[in-house]
A and B are shown apart, each in its own frame.
Chain A
């Protein structure tokens, strides 16, 4: 590319504007979490930490936060375990229905969450499983499994298959090969996928909405509070969540990035 032409300049301007647009709401959220006025409007009136104090001393919010962490932890654990197994099965073997299996596992990633939520709600009703946090955990784990499968499979495909043959030739049993050869290769992909699953489960609404019983998770709490009205307290919770998710994302990008070939 040589000197930028008029249309490329216009394009660059538009691109930077779009990039700014992506951060506008996040900036607004953070600014107003520190503004000492109950209404979210300019001009800013002063600095305060009251909204943070308010949410940290609200037992309802703390319970919801705990529920969210509980759900996200177990949903991640489940989807990592089963997702990794699925990725290994897909990587090493051909079996009838392989394409159907892959498509079904990946479907919830492009399907609006509410369809998955409704399907599971119908299913749970039929088998008599009550709506509860356990139901939510199973729902999240199932919906997020596709992420684990795609990330781990992408890493497996890059692995040198001769390592597995060498390990078998040297007399290692399959489980031994898995723990000593395969797992170290895919460990960072698994951890990256785990962080992603955790973040997405922590933030999930539609599946949770249909599957939860009386216990609410943090997003459901915020969602139902917001239908009634806005409080800057939500901005404070939001800013805290943003800070944590950015941290997790930076970690996961570092883990999911391909390591340079040795």
Chain B
């Protein structure tokens, strides 16, 4: 243990520097800004200024004025639909990669193919849906060209569905990654044991594979919901008049409407929802692990 003590004594001074910068940075540029945002959410607006105050008026307004709470509810609904759709589409893909693909090389390659779009400009992938779904866009013109329809369908773009499609598309890889990891970690002998005991493959899937991959599903779904809830690009590019989301509201509060305290209150609500979900998902994950030994 001599080495350890030497290490501890020798590194005392540089260690202080090692801590000071990152901890100071995280404190000054993360904790303080979030704190200031929460503080400003209690301020009052006296046009065109904001004055320090401590009152719950902004929150009251958010939850009593239908102009605001309908948007929050709609955003939650869309984020939930996106989470559901991305999970239902992402899970089979992860299952396919882990259990159907036989060779390691092909699996690695296909997994790469799932990841690559994730890192290809998120803005451009969202924008392309605008060009695909538009009235004279790729989808309508292709359908017309193929003779399926004679009139372009305007139903595709600028509504809640176009937003669900676009966001689902964006978040599928966010589900595939953790589910893939969870499926890969299932001990193969558990599956064999289940089969040896005469359980049919679908039963094995329902009673062994699905419960053991629940942790992956939970973490994928949590990230998807959180990020979809506050998405900044899709509501502006493919959303329509019936699809105002939290992001649009925030943009206007910090832009034309110039009401930072109200905007800060709304952003604080988003922050609290995300933190609550992260906490819940961590707890569920831990509980699941204990139960499964």
Question: Do A and B truly interact?
Answer: yes
Which A residues are within 8 Å of any B CB, using their own CB?
1, 4-5, 7-8, 11-12, 14-16, 18-19, 21-26, 28-29, 32, 39-43, 82-83, 85-86, 88-89, 92-93, 95, 97, 101, 104-105, 107-108, 110-116, 118-123, 126, 138, 142, 145, 164-166, 168-169, 173-175, 196, 199-200, 203, 205-206, 209-210, 219, 222-223, 226-227, 230, 234-235, 238, 241-242, 245-246, 248-249, 253
CA A244 to CA B40, docked complex, whole Å? 41
B232 and A105 contacting across the interface, CB-CB below 8 Å: no
CA A122 to CA B172, docked complex, whole Å? 33
B90 and A18 contacting across the interface, CB-CB below 8 Å: yes
What are 15 of the A-B contact pairs (CB < 8 Å)?
Answer: A14-B92, A22-B114, A26-B128, A29-B124, A43-B141, A83-B22, A88-B18, A89-B23, A111-B274, A115-B267, A121-B254, A200-B119, A205-B233, A238-B128, A249-B119
Given that A110-B227, A205-B123 are known contacts, is A169 also in contact with B2, CB under 8 Å in the complex?
yes
A111 and B25 contacting across the interface, CB-CB below 8 Å: no
A41 and B22 contacting across the interface, CB-CB below 8 Å: no
Given that A15-B92, A222-B127, A242-B124 are known contacts, is A86 also in contact with B138, CB under 8 Å in the complex?
no
Please name the residue on chain B nearest to A109 by beta carbon: B223
Which residues of chain B (67-118) have a CB below 8 Å from chain A?
89-90, 92-93, 95-97, 99-100, 102, 110, 112-117
Q: Which residues of A contact B172 (CB under 8 A)?
A: 18, 21-22
Q: Which residues of B contact A14 (CB under 8 A)?
A: 89, 92-93, 96
A89 and B19 contacting across the interface, CB-CB below 8 Å: yes
Q: Which residues of A contact B229 (CB under 8 A)?
A: 112
Q: Which residues of A contact B40 (CB under 8 A)?
A: 122
The answer to whether B214 has its CB under 8 Å from any CB of chain A is no
The answer to whether B222 has its CB under 8 Å from any CB of chain A is yes
Q: Which residues of A contact B32 (CB under 8 A)?
A: 123
The answer to whether B37 has its CB under 8 Å from any CB of chain A is yes
Q: Which residues of B contact A205 (CB under 8 A)?
A: 122-123, 232-233
B21 and A82 contacting across the interface, CB-CB below 8 Å: yes
B132 and A25 contacting across the interface, CB-CB below 8 Å: yes
Q: What is the distance, in angstroms, from B48's C-beta to the closest C-beta of chain A?
A: 14
Given that A41-B138, A122-B33, A242-B121 are known contacts, is A112 also in contact with B90, CB under 8 Å in the complex?
no
Q: Which residues of B contact A114 (CB under 8 A)?
A: 230, 232, 247, 250, 267, 270
B121 and A203 contacting across the interface, CB-CB below 8 Å: yes
Given that A22-B173, A210-B254 are known contacts, is A165 also in contact with B4, CB under 8 Å in the complex?
yes
A253 and B112 contacting across the interface, CB-CB below 8 Å: yes
B201 and A5 contacting across the interface, CB-CB below 8 Å: yes
Given that A222-B127, A226-B130 are known contacts, is A168 also in contact with B10, CB under 8 Å in the complex?
yes
Could you say which of A28, A174, A209 contacts B132, with CB atoms under 8 Å apart?
A: A28
Q: Which residues of B contact A142 (CB under 8 A)?
A: 25-26, 29-30
CA A235 to CA B197, docked complex, whole Å? 56
Q: What is the distance, in angstroms, from A69's C-beta to the closest C-beta of chain B?
A: 14
CA A195 to CA B15, docked complex, whole Å? 27
The answer to whether B47 has its CB under 8 Å from any CB of chain A is no
Please name the residue on chain A nearest to B271 by beta carbon: A115
CA A169 to CA B6, docked complex, whole Å? 7
The answer to whether B163 has its CB under 8 Å from any CB of chain A is no
Given that A119-B33, A122-B264 are known contacts, is A238 also in contact with B22, CB under 8 Å in the complex?
no
A118 and B250 contacting across the interface, CB-CB below 8 Å: yes
B127 and A238 contacting across the interface, CB-CB below 8 Å: yes
Which residues of chain B (20-58) have a CB below 8 Å from chain A?
21-23, 25-26, 29-34, 36-37, 40
B127 and A168 contacting across the interface, CB-CB below 8 Å: no
Please name the residue on chain B nearest to A103 by beta carbon: B278
Could you say which of B4, B15, B145, B226 contacts A43, with CB atoms under 8 Å apart?
A: B145
17 A-B pairs besides A205-B122, A230-B134 with CB distance below 8 A are: A1-B99, A11-B96, A23-B113, A28-B132, A41-B141, A88-B18, A101-B26, A108-B30, A110-B226, A174-B14, A174-B15, A206-B232, A210-B254, A219-B121, A234-B124, A241-B121, A245-B121
Please name the residue on chain B nearest to A225 by beta carbon: B127
Could you say which of A12, A25, A83, A121 contacts B169, with CB atoms under 8 Å apart?
A: A25
A230 and B130 contacting across the interface, CB-CB below 8 Å: yes
Given that A11-B96, A174-B11 are known contacts, is A113 also in contact with B274, CB under 8 Å in the complex?
no
A245 and B274 contacting across the interface, CB-CB below 8 Å: no
Q: Mark B224-236, 1 if CB is under 8 A from A, else 0.
A: 0011011111001
A7 and B99 contacting across the interface, CB-CB below 8 Å: no
Q: What is the distance, in angstroms, from B153's C-beta to the closest C-beta of chain A?
A: 13
The answer to whether B120 has its CB under 8 Å from any CB of chain A is yes
Which residues of chain B (120-151) have a CB below 8 Å from chain A?
120-125, 127-132, 134, 136-138, 140-142, 145
The answer to whether B178 has its CB under 8 Å from any CB of chain A is no
Q: What is the distance, in angstroms, from B151's C-beta to the closest C-beta of chain A?
A: 14
B131 and A12 contacting across the interface, CB-CB below 8 Å: no
Could you say which of B93, B250, B254 contacts A19, with CB atoms under 8 Å apart?
A: B93
CA A230 to CA B172, docked complex, whole Å? 26
CA A134 to CA B122, docked complex, whole Å? 23
Could you say which of B11, B125, B131 contacts A40, with CB atoms under 8 Å apart?
A: B131
Q: What is the distance, in angstroms, from B75's C-beta to the closest C-beta of chain A?
A: 11
